Amino acid sequence: MPIEVDQEQRLAQIAEATSQVARERGVRAVTIRAVAQQLGSSTTVITNYLPSRASLMANALRHAERRWSAESEELLEGRTGLDRLLTLAAWMCTTERDDDVMRRLLTEIVSESDASDAGILVRRLAREHRDALGELTAQAGMARPEAAADVLHLIFRGYWLSTLEDPDSWPAERGAAAAQAAAALFAAQPPAAEAAAPTEPRA
């Protein structure tokens, strides 16, 4: 009888092997054949679940996103308001073991095709990230939560690209400081109606 293999377990193994190939040989080296070799298996072990290079990269990104979600939930537990948002801002600018690899994979996916499953996944995750920021800025009591969420979303995306372009100039502390400064500026703004109120004419 054939050995039963849990699909989620196999996809997790493939995701780890994909990250390993990208980390050791670079993102361009990620192929179905290279990942199969990393697993010590035939290519059919990959293609039974993931039929293309794009879906291979999407699988790695999907598993990384699950890890990030679990980490952020644990980090933010018990925190509220502006403290919750500032804590997330600092965490979003950290770089752990595979974060740099995943940022390079994300860039590779975006550069290849926006019509693939991987491209669709990247857009969905980006929109979910932006929407989550909108909830956090609103919970922080910001006068312009949607604008604050837009700015922070763009800061995080820009920071991730900057760490690939010039990592020595953009340590985590610098990125976190920029994001937290932007959040603090929005937190200090008066409500729109108050800000637009006419001043009393001078006597």
Once rounded to an integer, what is the mean pLDDT over residues 109-116? 73
| pTM of the predicted model over 0.95 | no
Once rounded to an integer, what is the mean pLDDT over residues 90-104? 83
Q: Which two tokens stand for residue 46?
A: 């990959």
Q: Which of 57, 70, 5 is nearest to 30 (CA)?
A: 57
* Separation CA 61–CA 107 (nearest Å): 11
Position 201 confidence tier, pLDDT thresholds 50, 70, 90? very low
Whether the per-residue pLDDT at 3 is higher than 60: the answer is no
* Separation CA 174–CA 169 (nearest Å): 9
103 in Cβ contact with 158 (< 8 Å) = no
Q: Please report the pLDDT score of residue 97 as a whole number.
A: 64
122 in Cβ contact with 61 (< 8 Å) = yes
Q: Please report the pLDDT score of residue 190 as a whole number.
A: 58
Whether the per-residue pLDDT at 85 is higher than 50: the answer is yes
Whether the per-residue pLDDT at 193 is higher than 50: the answer is no
Q: Which tops the pLDDT comparison, 169 or 97?
A: 169
* Buried b or exposed e, range 56-72, using 16+ CB within 10 angstroms: bbbbbbebbbeebeeee
Burial-class residue 167 by CB neighbours within 10 Å (0-12, 13-18, 19+). exposed
**Residue 143 CB contacts under 8 Å (≥ 6 apart), including other chains:** 186, 189, 190, 191, 192, 195
Q: Which two tokens stand for residue 98?
A: 């595979």
